[in-house]
Amino acid sequence: MRAISAILVAAATMLAACSNESASNGAAKAPSADVIYTNAVVWTGAADMPRAEAVAIADGVIIGVGDAGSIDALKGDKTKVVDLGGAFVAPGFIDNHTHFLSGGLGLASVQLRDAASKEEFSRRIGDFAASSPEGRWIRFGDWDHQLWGGELPRADWIDALTPDNPVFVFRLDGHMALANSLAMRIAGVTAETSDPAGGEIVRDADGTPTGVFKDNAMNLIAAAMPPPADEEIDAAFLAAQDVALSHGVTKVHDMGDGDGKSLPDFRRQKEAGRMRIRVYALSPLADWPTLAAYVEENGRGDDQFRWDGLKGFVDGSLGSATAWFYDPFTDRPDYSGMPVTDLDELKADIEGADAAGLHVAVHAIGDRANDWLLDAYESAAGANGEEIKSRRFRIEHAQHLTTGEIDRFAHLGVIASMQPYHAIDDGRWAETKIGPERIKTTYAFRSLIDAGAVLTFGSDWSVAPLDPLAGIYAAVTRRTIDGANPGGWVPAQKITVDEALHAYTAANAYAGFQEDNLGTIEPGKLADLVILADDVTQIDPTLIADVKVLRTIVGGKEEYRAEE
C-alpha cells in the first residue's frame, strides 16, 4: 500500500503545481481531502504498510495514508485538518454477531445481568413490575444464575411480586428463560404440556413446570407474547446504534431474533434516514426460499445495508446445558446435550440456501454439533458442485472443538465466527460442565489461527457487551471476569493484540463479503475509523478494556465523539 499511497500523493502534488496554468484547458484539478487526520498512530491493518501517521478522506472514501508530510499534499483550501495528538487510529470495528434490535429493546427493560443473589434477582423484577402498566409483558433481563451458585430461578420467586404482569426473562445466552405463573397461564402451559423437540420444560419432581424453559420450549411462551410495535423497534434501533458507535463499532452483522422481521425493520430504519452505522442482516435459515426471491427482486443491498445472509442452529448453549457433545456433561453423566433443529431439515436448508447463492451461517457450540456442521457444509459444496472456500460458510460461536475439527476449519475454509468475551465469562464455570480435557480446545483462538483458519470476532450482544475493546482484552488476556484466573484461563489459547484487531476488522469484512471496501485503512476504501486514546498494541494488555473511544467515523462522517 505504501507504493499506492505514494503514487496518489505524487500525482496530487504534480497536479497542484500545474493546476493554475492548466485550468483554462479543462485539465483535472488536484484531488483534495475533505478532512485529514494527522499526528496519529495509524494501525492500517494492511500487510504492506501496517503503520502510518495520517489519513486523508474525501467524499467518504480514504484517498491517502502515509506520513504526515506526504499526506499534507492532499490538503486544499477547504480541507479540515484534525490533529489527533498521538491518538491511535484503527479501521472501524465490525461486530460479527449481534442481536441488535432485541439488544436495543432490552436496554429499556429490567436489568438482571449483575443480579448476584436470588433476592436481588427477584427484587429487580418486582421493582420493574411496580413501575410498569398492568398487563405489560416484562422481557429480556439477561440473568446469570451462576452468580448465585448455579440454582435455576423459579416462577415462585417472583409470582407474588408480579401479579398483574406476565414475565418472560432470558438467561444472558438467550437459550433459557424464566416465565412467571401468569405468563404460563396465558400461554396455556401446564404439567400436561409435552416437551417439544429440541427443547426442555424444567419441572419439579411431580412434573409441574418450575418456570424455566430451554431452547425450543421457549417458543411455548413466546407465541403468547405480543410483538413489539414498530415505534418500539425504531426506538430500540436508535438506542442500540448509539451504544455501538460509542464503542467504535461501525458495522454489525445481525443474527436476528428468529422471527424473520429484522430485514423489514432494518430497511425501515434506512429508508427513514436513521441508519448511521452499517448493517449486514441475516434472516432465519429456514426462510431461505423467501430470501432468495427477495434477493432476486431487490438485489443484495449496498455498503450500508446488506441482507443476503441466513442464520440457523444446530444446538443450544453450554450455560443452558443444551450444547451437543460427543461425551456427556461432567455434571450430568447421562446427558450430552441435543440438536435444537431437525438435522435432516437443517441439512436440506443448508444445501438449498447454498444452491440459491445465499450466504449461510449456522450456530454450533458443542464438539458434536461442530463436527456435524462441518460435514453438512462439505456435503453442500459437493452437492452444488463448487469449491467450498468460495462459499465462506460460517460457524457461529464454534466454542468447543476437537483437534481434528480445528484442522478442518482451515482445510475447508469455514469461517470461525467467535465471540471472545464468552471465554472470560464461561471460563468461571465451564470446567464443571465439561471437565479439564475438553476445555483445552474451548474458545481455541490460538489453535485456529495456527492451523490457518479464518477467525473473526464479535460480541453476541446482548449476551455479552457490545464492546470490541472488551473482546480484545478477553482474547489477549483470557482473564475470567471473576478475577480467578489472572494469568488467563487456558492461557495456551491467548492471541496477540494485532491478531485480535485483525479479527475485528479485516477478517470480519471478509466474513461479510466486503473486504474490497472495508476492514483496512487503505486508499479507495470507505472511511470507517475508530480513534482511541491509547495504542492498544503497546499498553499493558490488562488495561485494554478501559481504553477510551474518542471518535467513531463512518463513511468519513464523525458519528460519535467522546465528551472532553
Residues in CB range of 351: below 8 A, 6 or more apart: 379, 380, 383, 384
Tens digits of per-residue pLDDT, 246-301? Answer: 999 999 999 998 788 999 999 999 999 999 999 999 999 999 999 999 999 999 99
**Rounded CA separation 392/276 (Å):** 27
| Phi/psi of residue 378, nearest 5 degrees | -65, -40
Decide: helix, strand or coil at residue 315. Answer: strand
The whole-number average pLDDT for the span 167-177 is 94
The residue assigned the cell 484487531 is 501
CB 345 within 8 A of CB 286: yes
The whole-number average pLDDT for the span 433-448 is 97
In a domain, 498, yes or no: no
What residues pair up with 37 in beta bridges, in sequence order? 55, 82
Which H or E run includes 434?
Answer: helix 430-438
What residues pair up with 56 in beta bridges, in sequence order? 36, 64
In a domain, 128, yes or no: yes
CB 64 within 8 A of CB 79: no
In a domain, 468, yes or no: no
Pairing of strands 61-66, 54-58: antiparallel
Decide: helix, strand or coil at residue 62. Answer: strand
Question: Would the pLDDT of 17 be above 80?
Answer: no
Q: Is the pTM of this model over 0.85?
A: yes
pLDDT grade for 553, boundaries at 50, 70 and 90: very high
The whole-number average pLDDT for the span 200-220 is 96
**Rounded CA separation 187/339 (Å):** 24
In a domain, 213, yes or no: yes
Q: What is the DSSP string of 217-272?
A: THHHHHTTSPPPPHHHHHHHHHHHHHHHHHTTEEEEEE---SSS-HHHHHHHHHHT
Give the CATH number, domain containing residue 118. 3.10.310.70
Pairing of strands 415-418, 455-457: parallel
**C-alpha closest to that of 180 among 191, 192, 165:** 165
**Cα 110 → chain centroid:** 22
In a domain, 470, yes or no: no
**Rounded CA separation 55/47 (Å):** 17
**C-alpha closest to that of 124 among 148, 103, 102:** 148
Question: Would the pLDDT of 307 be above 70?
Answer: yes
In a domain, 197, yes or no: yes
* Number of domains present in the structure of the chain: 1
Question: Would the pLDDT of 20 be above 80?
Answer: no
In a domain, 189, yes or no: yes
Pairing of strands 35-38, 80-83: parallel
Tens digits of per-residue pLDDT, 64-107? Answer: 999 999 999 999 999 999 999 999 999 999 999 999 999 999 99
Q: Provide the domain limits for residue 138.
A: 105-222
In a domain, 124, yes or no: yes
